[in-house]
Amino acid sequence: MIGIESSQKSNMPRHILLINGPNLNLLGKREPHVYGSTTLDDVIATVKSQALELGVELETFQSNHEGAIVDCIQEAAGWGPTVKSDEIKERKKVSAIIINPGALTHTSVAVRDALLGVDIPFIELHVSNVHAREPWRKHSYLSDKAAAVICGMGAFGYKAALEFAAKHMEVREDKR
């Protein structure tokens, strides 16, 4: 929700999950002419510092495996195969997700279904401008359900996504 008044800030995300998909561990090394020279460790250090300034908790996760990402999304809602029933009440629920799904953007119905299943608002993020690249990169299984899509801003896109999530995304009523 854009233009939120300060009186509504209690309804803003307080615990945000940043998920990075396949090959994003290679940021700064893989095709720097496309993705830049900033590493994923640099990105995470920057957004963790920003999260402190914004007063939000930031949890980060990266995997090259689709199933691990699906598990992480489910666990964000207190579900998933590694969450024991006695942990569900104690685990802090994630109120917003920022996801750079990498190549899974164009192929993964499983990631889409997981995001829709947990009903946590999410931002789709890409370092490169996927619309200025190969035709097959223009299709996303996530964009039509995302609260926002950020692409082509390089590593700065992570900062933009976190600020948007912290200041402009309204948290849905907890149904979990």
For the chain, count helices (H), then strands (E): 5, 5
Tell me whether residue 35 is one of the annotated catalytic residues.
Answer: yes
Residue 128 marked ligand-binding: yes
Catalytic: 141?
Answer: no
DSSP state of 6: G
25 is in an annotated binding site: no
100 is known to lie in a ligand binding site: yes
Q: Which of 15, 33, 65, 126 is catalytic?
A: 126
Q: Check the annotation: does 41 bind a ligand.
A: no
Residue type, 119: D
Report whether 127 belongs to an annotated binding site: yes
Which residue out of 33, 35, 158, 168 is catalytically annotated? 35
63 is in an annotated binding site: no
Residue 18 CB partners (closer than 8 Å, separation 6+): 44, 47, 58, 59, 60, 61, 97, 98, 99, 158, 162
The binding site for substrate comprises: 100, 106, 113, 127-128, 137
Residue list for the binding site = 100, 106, 113, 127-128, 137
Give me the active site residues, please: 35, 126
